[in-house]
Amino acid sequence: MTHTFDEDTAPTPNPTLAHALIAAPLEDGAGWTPARQATFLQALASTHSVANAARVAGMSRQSAYALRARLKGEPFDHAWTAALRCRFDALAEAAMERALNGVEVPHYHRGELIGTSRKYDERLTVALLMMRDSFRLPHARQHDVAARYGSDDFGRLVERVEAGPETWDEQDRQERIALYEEYARDAAAAEAEGDADEGDHDSDEEE
Instruction: Write down the pLDDT at residue 119.
Output: 77
Q: Would residue 187 count as lying in a domain? A: no
Q: Would residue 136 count as lying in a domain? A: yes
Q: Would residue 120 count as lying in a domain? A: yes
Q: Would residue 10 count as lying in a domain? A: no
165: phi then psi, degrees, rounded to nearest 5: -65, 165
pLDDT tens-digit profile of 140-183?
A: 555 678 888 887 899 999 999 999 999 988 988 988 898 889 88
Range of the domain at 104: 17-166
Q: Would residue 88 count as lying in a domain? A: yes
Kindly indicate the confidence band of residue 12, based on its pLDDT and cuts at 50, 70 and 90.
very low
Kindly indicate the confidence band of residue 58, based on its pLDDT and cuts at 50, 70 and 90.
very high
Question: What element of type H or E holds 82?
Answer: helix 75-101
Tally of domains within the chain: 1
Q: Would residue 107 count as lying in a domain? A: yes
Instruction: Write down the pLDDT at residue 200.
Output: 58
Q: Would residue 75 count as lying in a domain? A: yes
pLDDT tens-digit profile of 112-127?
A: 888 888 776 667 666 7
Q: Would residue 7 count as lying in a domain? A: no
